[in-house]
Amino acid sequence: MIRVLIVDDSAIVRQVFGQGIAKDADLEVVGAAPDPYVARDLIRERSPDVLTLDIEMPRMDGLTFLRKLMRYHPLPVVVVSSLTPKGGELALEAMEAGAVDVMCKPGAAYTVGDMTEDLVEKLKAAAQVRINRQALAHRIASKSVSAEALARTTQQVLAIGASTGGTVALESILRSMPPNGPGTVITQHMPAFFTRSFAARLDGVSAMEVREARDNDSVLPGVALIAPGDRHLLLRRSGARYYVNVKNGPRINRHRPSVDVMFRSVGKAAGKNAIGVILTGMGGDGARGMLEMKDAGAVTIAQDEASCVVFGMPKVAIDTGAAQEVVPLDRMPRRVLELSEKRSN
C-alpha cells in the first residue's frame, strides 16, 4: 500500500481527494492536514510515502514548507495549484524545489472524475521516486552547465516528449542549447495554463527563444515551441517551411497534449530531418509515435534510467525498439547537437 498524506487548507478538496484515493486498492490515506504545521506532525506520526501539497495556505505557504521538507525529511510531493498566473508560477517554483509533479485543483479545468483519475496516477508515479538531498544538490549544480563550445546546429527539427519529472529535464536541456539550436517542438504533460508560465521560465534561462506554441507558428532555429496544456501540437510542412498546428481533439493515451500525436506528425512532416527525444515520465505515451519517427528515418533517443525521475515512457520506447540510442540527461544536449550537425552535412 502507498501511504498518502493530503495537505490542503480546503476541507472540500481534502474530502474529494480522500474519496478519490480511497477507491484505489493500492493507495491509503493516512491523514489530511489543513496547514504545514499539522502536516509536519502527521509526517512524524504516520510516515507517509507521498504527499499532495497545496501552495497557498495559512500559517505557512506550501513552497516554504516544501523547501523545509526537502531539507530535513525528503518525500515525493505532488503539488496541487489553482489555475491562476500566481498559482502556475508558484507550482513551477515548487518543482524546482523538489516536487515531483503538479496538477490543477478541482474546478473548471477538471470534472471531479477526471481529477481523481489523474491524481491517483500521479501519486503512484511519485511514490516510485526516491527524493534525497544529494539528488537535489545535483539538480541545482546541473543548472550551471554552460552552452559554450557546443557544436553549431542546423535546420534539423528536434521533437521532445516528457511527463513526470520532465520540467526539470527540459530545463537542463534547454539551458545547454546555443542560441541557434535546432527548431524545437515540445510536448510536456502539463495542465492548461501552466505551460505558459513554464515556457516563460525556460525562456529566461535558455539562449533560445522558448514560448508556448500558437497555431501556425513557424519552427525556426533558435526557437522552442511548447504545446499548450489541453491542446495537441502537430508539425506540418509547406514547401521548405515547417510550422505547427495547435488543435483540440480526443485524449490519446489519456493525455492532451499527447507525445504520440506530436511524434507521429514529426515523422510524417520531417522524416530524416528530425531528431526525437523521449524523457522521463510514467506510462507509454510517445513510444508508438517515436517508432513511426524511426521508421521515417529520424534519429530517436531515450533518456537513460539512472537520470530519469520515472523510467516509464523511455523504457517503453526502448523495449519496443523505438529508441535507437539511450543517453544520460547531462549528455543529451551535446548528443542532439552532434547528430543535428552530422545529419545536415
C-beta of residue 194 within 8 angstroms of C-beta of residue 102: yes
SS3 string, 196-249, reads HHHHHHHHHHCCCEEEECCCCCECCCCEEEECCCCCEEEEEEECCEEEEEEECC
Same domain, 168 and 116: no
Taking residues 109-116, report their average pLDDT. Answer: 62
Taking residues 113-131, report their average pLDDT. Answer: 83
Q: Cα–Cα distance between 239 and 20 in angstroms, integer?
A: 50
Positions of E strands within 56-98: 77-81
Among 10-14, 80-84, 201-205, 306-310, the minimum mean pLDDT is found in 80-84
Q: Cα–Cα distance between 25 and 21 in angstroms, integer?
A: 9
Residue whose C-alpha is closest to residue 5's, from 63, 75, 110: 75
Q: How confident is the model at residue 168 (pLDDT cuts 50, 70, 90)?
A: very high
Residue 306, number of CB atoms within 10 A of its CB: 8
Report the pLDDT value the prediction gives residue 146, as an integer from 0 to 100: 39
156 by DSSP, 3-state: which?
coil
Q: How many helices (H) and strands (E) does the chain have?
A: 12, 14
- Judge whether 218 counts as a catalytic residue: no
Q: What are the Cα distances from residue 148, in Å, to 179, 328, 342?
A: 10, 19, 19
Report the pLDDT value the prediction gives residue 80, as an integer from 0 to 100: 84
- Judge whether 138 counts as a catalytic residue: no
Same domain, 112 and 172: no
pTM of the model: 0.77
- Helices 85-96 & 166-175, crossing angle to 10 degrees? 80
Same domain, 100 and 219: no
Catalytic residue among 176, 285, 307, 340: 285
- Mean pLDDT for the chain? 87
Same domain, 55 and 169: no
Catalytic residue among 81, 82, 163, 176: 163
Supply the DSSP string of 271-295, one letter for each residue. GGGEEEEE-SBSS-TTHHHHHHHHH
Taking residues 134-149, report their average pLDDT. Answer: 48
Same domain, 229 and 320: yes
Pull the grid cell for residue 23. Answer: 477507491
Neighbour-count burial for 195-215, b at 16+ CB within 10 Å, e otherwise: bbbbbebbbeebbbebbbbee
End position of a domain, from candidates 103, 136, 169: 136
End position of a domain, from candidates 87, 105, 136: 136
27, β-bridge pairs: 2
In the predicted structure, residue 115 carries a pLDDT above the cut 80:
no
Q: How confident is the model at residue 144 (pLDDT cuts 50, 70, 90)?
A: very low
State the CATH number of the domain containing residue 203: 3.40.50.180
Same domain, 24 and 105: yes
In the predicted structure, residue 28 carries a pLDDT above the cut 70:
yes
Same domain, 122 and 166: no
- Judge whether 217 counts as a catalytic residue: no
Same domain, 129 and 7: yes
Catalytic residue among 189, 206, 217, 265: 189
State the residue range of the domain holding 337. 145-344
Same domain, 111 and 166: no
C-beta of residue 26 within 8 angstroms of C-beta of residue 51: no
Same domain, 165 and 121: no
**How do residues 256-287 score in pLDDT, each as one tens digit?**
999 999 999 999 999 999 999 999 999 999 99
Domain total for the chain?
A: 2
Place of cell 541557434: 180
In the predicted structure, residue 169 carries a pLDDT above the cut 60:
yes
End position of a domain, from candidates 79, 114, 136: 136
